[in-house]
């Protein structure tokens, strides 16, 4: 599997794993701040960007193997790992399957998997149902809007919309990635890495209550909520995210 990745900064390695339909460019708001202290490695998941896009469905476990491949190619034995949304599911699989490779774990706006998962908010369920009947550009803008908090600055919506237009979802890769998220049943085994759970209080894509479920499953996990932010809170409050993450990682 060819996985496109890059790195910035120096220090302890920090691997970033993105979610459904977003390539590595989408980490831009927080990479500079994190790279001041860490060797930040970030990549395109299979199915998007410059990485291979094999036919699916994919699984979060397969995508965790891709993340391990990136660590191997970068010559990194052990790293902090931060995953968002689908990337948080991949990060859980990585931490459970290869605990010796994970130092500290940061799970952002993600789910525990299986029956314990709090369902997707109704507003986004309706959007998925309606999207097929909408012009593609209209559907894409609405997905951008739904990923931000209600009332997000119009200039932020427009910036993300234009970036998504320039890096559209792959017709093969997007549904294959979506299958990995829908099929995530939770990890087998335990996650032993110290864990930080981050969520936006106005997330309309992943119900914020999933963070509470994860906290129950991960004794000792630290929970941080970013008031007034949505699913892409690292675009809405990047400075706060960098501060919270660096304080946790140390």
Handedness of CA 120, 27, 165, 21 (dihedral sign): negative
SS3 at position 53: coil
Q: So what's the pLDDT on residue 168?
A: 85
Q: So what's the pLDDT on residue 219?
A: 86
In the sheet that holds 12-17, the strands lie side by side as 5-8, 38-43, 12-17, 79-84, 102-108, 195-200, 222-226
99, 192 contact by CB (below 8 A): yes
Q: What is the pTM of this model?
A: 0.97
CATH of the domain at 144: 3.40.50.1820
- Structural domain count of the chain: 1
| Spatial separation of the C-alpha atoms in residues 218 and 210, rounded to whole Å | 12
Question: Containing domain of residue 191, as a range?
Answer: 5-249
The DSSP annotation for 6-58 comes to EEE--SEEEEEE--TT--GGGGTTTHHHHHTTEEEEEEPPTTSTTS----S--
Q: Which two tokens stand for residue 135?
A: 């012009």
Q: So what's the pLDDT on residue 143?
A: 94
Q: List the chain pLDDT tens, one digit each, 250 residues.
A: 999 999 999 999 999 999 999 999 999 999 999 999 999 999 999 999 999 999 999 999 999 999 999 999 999 999 999 999 999 999 999 999 999 999 999 999 999 999 999 999 999 999 989 988 999 899 999 999 999 999 999 999 999 999 999 988 899 999 999 999 999 999 998 999 999 999 999 999 999 999 999 999 998 999 999 999 999 999 999 999 999 999 999 9
Q: Name residues whose C-beta falls within 8 Å of residue 178's C-beta, 6 or more positions apart in sequence.
A: 20
Please report, for residues 9, 15, 39, 85, 117, the alpha-carbon distance to residue 36 in angstroms, rounded to integers and kept in the order given: 6, 14, 8, 24, 35
Strands (E) across 21-135 are located at 38-43, 79-84, 102-108
Q: Which two tokens stand for residue 73?
A: 């190619």
106 - beta bridge partners?
82, 196
Q: So what's the pLDDT on residue 87?
A: 98
Q: So what's the pLDDT on residue 132?
A: 86
| Spatial separation of the C-alpha atoms in residues 89 and 16, rounded to whole Å | 12
Peptide bond into 57 cis (omega under 30): yes
Which helix (H) or strand (E) segment is 6 a member of?
strand 5-8
């Amino acid at each position: 599997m060819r996985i496109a990745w890059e790195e910035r900064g120096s220090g302890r390695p920090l691997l970033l794993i993105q979610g459904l339909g977003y390539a590595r460019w989408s980490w831009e708001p927080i990479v500079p701040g994190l790279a001041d202290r860490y060797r930040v490695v970030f990549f395109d998941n299979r199915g998007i960007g410059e990485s291979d896009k094999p036919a699916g469905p994919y699984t979060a476990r397969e995508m965790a193997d891709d993340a391990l491949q990136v660590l191997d190619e970068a010559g990194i034995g052990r790293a902090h790992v931060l995953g968002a949304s689908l990337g948080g599911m991949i990060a859980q699989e990585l931490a459970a399957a290869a605990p010796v490779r994970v130092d500290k774990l940061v799970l952002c706006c993600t789910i525990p998997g299986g029956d314990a998962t709090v369902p997707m908010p109704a507003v986004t369920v309706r959007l998925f149902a309606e999207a097929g009947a909408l012009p593609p550009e209209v559907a894409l803008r609405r997905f951008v809007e739904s990923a931000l908090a209600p009332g997000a600055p119009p200039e932020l919506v427009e910036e993300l919309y234009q970036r998504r237009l320039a890096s559209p979802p792959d017709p093969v890769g997007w549904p294959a990635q979506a299958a990995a998220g829908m099929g995530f049943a939770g990890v087998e085994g335990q996650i032993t890495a110290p864990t930080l759970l981050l969520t936006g209080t106005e997330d309309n894509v992943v119900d914020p209550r999933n963070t509470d479920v994860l906290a129950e499953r991960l004794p000792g996990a630290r929970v941080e909520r970013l008031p007034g932010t949505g699913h892409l809170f690292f675009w809405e409050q990047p400075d706060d995210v960098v501060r919270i993450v660096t304080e946790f990682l140390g």
